[in-house]
Amino acid sequence: MNDESDLLATIAQGVVHLDVAVVRTSVESAVREGISPFRIVAEGLSQGMRTVGALFRDGELFMPEVLVACDTYYAGLQLVQPLIEKDNGRIAKGKIVLGTIHGDIHTVGKDVAIPVFRAAGFDVVDLGTDVADEAFVEAVRQHQPDIVGLGTYMTSTFMHTNQTVEALERAGLRGQVKVICGGPAVDVRAALKLGADGATDNAWEGVQIMEAWMAEVRE
């Protein structure tokens, strides 16, 4: 391994070991060494998140560690984000606007989903929590995403998925986006009945679903 690879591996390991200090220092070093911000994200921070996903899947890491790994990822991302925004060469896999359904203020799912989606190469517009249907409509008009993500922690707020979907339909925007539901209360069949295109309670599975949708669009 050369120095660049070592540095990127250190960043990835920092994310896995929940070590904010190591991640920050290594990202700063990588920037100084002239490594492209896109590589720092793709081969450092995002590689770390992929490893976290694999360890979570295998039962070696659990939700608390995953949440803090996401924060660690963000700590590094903050340092390179301004540089990435100047980098016109990056092509995102797709754009998603994502928020927690009106009435639901839990962020535990969204806090994991957003970094995992970003690490996988999606542009994510975070609308926050307790997002009104009209705010989703406005965000679709403004950001022109490929996908709308509806987060919900509770069954009673998940049951309002159809109202958000209907708001998109009334605005004439439903045809231009896929809708995915996420959170521990979601059920795939119910999500489809409620007008969404898919659902999952696992952010890494969400990436697979969205990648398949984007592949369909490109075909």
Partner 1 sequence: MSVVDSWVQRLRGTLRPIGEMTHWQRLAAALDLHPTDLVPVAPELDYWQITHAGYSHQEIYNDVDKTTDACLRTWADLRCDAIWMYVDISHQIENFLPAERRAAHFVHRGPKDYLLFKPLVETLDEAIALYESRAFEKHLADSRAVTHYTPHMLQLLEFQEKMDRQVPVIVGAASPINYAETIVEVQRLVRWTITESEDKVRHYLELCLAERLEALDFYRDVAAANGCQFFCVFGGARTWGPRQLEKFGDVDRRFVDKVREIFPYVFWHHCGHNLPQALELLATWPGIKGVQYDQPYHSQKLSWSEFYEITARLFSGRRCAMNAPTTQVACYGTPGEITQMVRQFIEATVPHTSAVVMPGCEIDSYAPVENVRAMIDAARTMA
- Contacting residues toward partner 1, per CB under 8 A: 18, 56-59, 61-65, 67-68, 71, 102-108, 111, 154-157, 159-160, 184-187, 189-190, 193, 201-202
Residue 114 Cβ, how far from partner 1 at the closest point, in Å? 13
Instruction: Tell me the two tokens of residue 126.
Output: 């975070």
Residue 74 Cβ, how far from partner 1 at the closest point, in Å? 12
Q: Which is nearer to partner 1, 184 or 195 (CB)?
A: 184
Q: Which is nearer to partner 1, 105 or 212 (CB)?
A: 105
Instruction: Tell me the two tokens of residue 13.
Output: 């390991």
Residue 178 Cβ, how far from partner 1 at the closest point, in Å? 20
The alpha-carbon radius of gyration of the chain (Å, integer) is 18
Q: Helix, strand, coil: what percent of the chain each, to 5?
A: 60, 15, 25
- Name the strand (E) or helix (H) holding 88: none
Q: What are the distances in angstroms from CA 153 to CA 104, 128, 166, 217?
A: 7, 14, 21, 29
Q: Which is nearer to partner 1, 132 or 171 (CB)?
A: 132
Residue 154 Cβ, how far from partner 1 at the closest point, in Å? 7
